[in-house]
Amino acid sequence: MSTQDRRYWRSLEELDASPAFEAALEREFPEEVEAGTLDGTTRRHFLGIMGASVAMTSLAGCVRRPEQKILPYSRAPEDVLPGVPQHYATVAHIGPNVIGLLAESHEGRPTKLEGNPDHPTSLGGTAALHQGMVLDLYDPMRLQTPRKGGAPTDWDALEDFLRKHFQGLRDGKGGQGLAVLSESIPSPSFADLRQRFLGTYPGAKWFTYEPISDDNQREGLKAAFGKPLRPSFRLNKARVVVSLDSDFLGTEGDTVANARQWASLRSVQNTEDELSRLYVVEGRYSITGTNADHRLRIAPSQVEAVAFALAQAFSKKGAAIPADIMAMAGDRAKNLDAKAKAYVEAVVDDLWNRRTAKGAERHGLVLAGRNQPPVVHAITAALNHALSVQGVTLYYFNDFGRGPDELGDFAGLKALTEQLNAGSVETLVVIGANPVYSAPGDLNFKAAMAKAKTSICLSDYPDETAKLATWAVPRLHFLEAWGDLASTEGTVAIQQPLVEPLHGGYSPQELLARCMLEEKPDGYTLVRDFWKKQFAQRRGGSNAGFHKQWRRWLHDGRMGAPFFGSFPTYSGPQGAGDTLRRKPLAPPTDRSLEVVFHEDP
């Protein structure tokens, strides 16, 4: 074979030259001018063809900027120069965890995400999942048009359906037979819309579901404090940290902020610096465990026994541990071996000494992992209260991602499944979640969802739930949509878009507003009006200065202080309550096997 006959290819699809591949190639690149077109052409004709090709190439690469004003994070130059990036502050979330971001944009195209150094959940850092978010914006597999029964339809048909369907639900039944299943969205404006939605449809039911759940933590803290709360840590102040199966540096909570804060006390600059110490009790080798100074390898089912042993040892030091915990401590901790008991004694001595250490009082901290039962979280709350660390290394906050009286993730999903099977849910709205894929198999949620007469799914992709829904609605990427998010410790940031929607779609706020029969709502107006109202309420009803403050929020990527007041405090935990009723697992034997599911880091 001669060199001229060789054909080079970059993929099997290009080698096969299938019609589908050729069509996709033509959509990405302008079709080249045939060689015969230039035979005998004039100079003017040649320049005309080249000019048209350049124009088509330029138009194909254009990305529309948002119509509303957005502000760069740093002071912009007098003229925007091609090739010189601009940076805009925004915010995103994965489940209930929020991350402050700086989005790099080249001539209107978001290209890179980094952490916002002024936002407490990122401190300038990101994780791998955050870096990959910008790729989702350009993913060709995104849901691009509404679908009815799996077939593409137009936006006017969707708008007309939503208006007529929800008007009938409001006027006829007051929302009876309507249920909403949403992912956790820690947004104050979305929480306000949720409350208004339930007021518009008093017969409706609302459920929140995250497949990687913090149910155990919420239930344990509810038993301790009387209400479900979320803990927020200050690891940059914690000199002694004890982890009870908590991978706080890898997969649990605000891992980016946790890692940066914890690392700040692991650097020695002079001979007087003191390193923090990390004790980890776990059954697997986690990212946090690899960084431990002292690690106790133990069966996951026996971490509960370690927690009771810690409570027992604290009580011997004079700490006031709730009576219901102490009543069970002796029996629950009796099966620990000598090595584990010695480890517990060393941990308690270190924590208790830190409690009264001069110049570093109250600088201890105990954390419990999401896989541990609620009783471990209740005991952890009691231990931290005994160490008097609240307000120093530990704070508790309300959860913006769900209503105060909602069921937990799996209890709520089970209740919804039962209602679907009973036929009491006729209209189901799914916002962001994919329960057909992620729900426990024994629920058979797919079969239950199919029994709803009408189902509407707001989704990024044509996933399992979107394919089953009567209506599948494209969801806007966070770089295309206005919104707001509140991190665990109460810092609120405005989510500002960098581009106009590439394919069209709704944000969760926009879909919910349409279901409430608001006329063509847009995310910018919904979010800005909400914060304008909040701003006025804190200034005696006056909106004076709001526009300037709004611009400052966009510029900084956060509100200057926790907008919903100073750090709240809660009285000491009352005990473990109903969490103690759960029968503990039997201690493992040489032949026993424990199966534990963890999030892939």
Burial label for 169, CB within 10 Å (0-12, 13-18, 19+), is buried
Which has more confidence, 37 or 185? 185
- Tallying the residues shown for the chain, one arrives at 601
Q: Does residue 35 surpass a pLDDT of 50?
A: no
The amino acid at residue 299 is A
Q: Tell me the C-alpha distance between 380 and 221, whole Å.
A: 9
Burial label for 34, CB within 10 Å (0-12, 13-18, 19+), is exposed
Residue ranges covered by each domain of the chain: 6-61, 162-213+406-487+506-556, 215-399+573-581
Residue 27's Cα: distance from chain center in Å? 34
Q: Tell me the C-alpha distance between 293 and 296, whole Å.
A: 10
Q: Quick: pLDDT tens for 108-139.
A: 889 999 999 999 999 999 999 999 999 999 99
Cβ neighbours of residue 48 closer than 8 Å, sequence gap 6 or more: none
Three-class DSSP category at 443: helix
Q: Quick: pLDDT tens for 219-250.
A: 999 888 888 888 999 999 999 999 999 999 99
pLDDT of residue 581: 75
Three-class DSSP category at 404: coil
> Which range has the worst mean pLDDT, 8-17, 154-163, 349-358, 446-455?
8-17
CA distances from residue 420 to 225, 374, 426, 459 in whole angstroms, order as listed: 33, 28, 8, 21
pLDDT of residue 27: 61
Could you say which DSSP state residue 142 is in?
A: S
Residues 507, 514 contacting (CB under 8 angstroms)? no
The per-residue DSSP string of 247-316 comes to -TTTTSSSHHHHHHHHHHTS---STT----EEEEEESS--HHHHT-SEEEE--GGGHHHHHHHHHHHHHH
Cβ neighbours of residue 491 closer than 8 Å, sequence gap 6 or more: 100, 119, 120, 121, 558, 559, 562
Q: Tell me the C-alpha distance between 264 and 236, whole Å.
A: 6
pLDDT of residue 1: 53
pLDDT of residue 37: 46
Share of the chain above pLDDT 90, in %: 63
CA distances from residue 179 to 7, 169, 176, 456 in whole angstroms, order as listed: 58, 11, 9, 11
Q: Quick: pLDDT tens for 272-306.
A: 778 899 999 999 999 999 999 999 999 999 999 99
> Which range has the worst mean pLDDT, 286-290, 408-412, 597-601?
597-601
Q: Quick: pLDDT tens for 471-498.
A: 999 999 999 999 999 998 889 999 999 9
What is the arithmetic mean of pLDDT over 423-449? 96
Q: Quick: pLDDT tens for 333-358.
A: 998 999 999 999 999 999 998 887 66
Token pair, residue 232, equals: 């927020």
Question: How far does the chain reach from its first CA to its final CA, in angstroms?
Answer: 50
What is the arithmetic mean of pLDDT over 257-263? 94
Q: Does residue 75 surpass a pLDDT of 60?
A: no
pLDDT of residue 579: 74
How do beta strands 151-152 and 147-148 pair? antiparallel
How do beta strands 97-106 and 86-94 pair? antiparallel
Residues 458, 508 contacting (CB under 8 angstroms)? yes
pLDDT of residue 440: 94
Which has more confidence, 52 or 187? 187
Instruction: Name the architecture of domain 162-213+406-487+506-556.
Output: 3-Layer(aba) Sandwich (3.40)
Q: Does residue 170 surpass a pLDDT of 80?
A: yes
Q: Which CATH class is domain 215-399+573-581?
A: alpha beta
Q: Tell me the C-alpha distance between 180 and 270, whole Å.
A: 57
Model confidence band, residue 42 (pLDDT cutoffs 50, 70, 90):
low
Residues 168, 385 contacting (CB under 8 angstroms)? no
Q: Does residue 569 surpass a pLDDT of 60?
A: no
Residues 179, 419 contacting (CB under 8 angstroms)? yes
Q: Tell me the C-alpha distance between 113 and 122, whole Å.
A: 12
pLDDT of residue 398: 80
Q: What is the pTM of this model?
A: 0.83
- Cα angle 468, 473, 475 (rounded to 5 degrees) comes to 120
Q: What is the mean pLDDT of the chain?
A: 86
Could you say which DSSP state residue 401 is in?
A: T
Helix, strand, coil abundance in the chain, percent, nearest 5: 40, 15, 45
Compute how many other C-beta atoms are within 10 angstroms of the C-beta atom of residue 210.
Answer: 22
Q: Does residue 154 surpass a pLDDT of 50?
A: yes
Three-class DSSP category at 390: strand
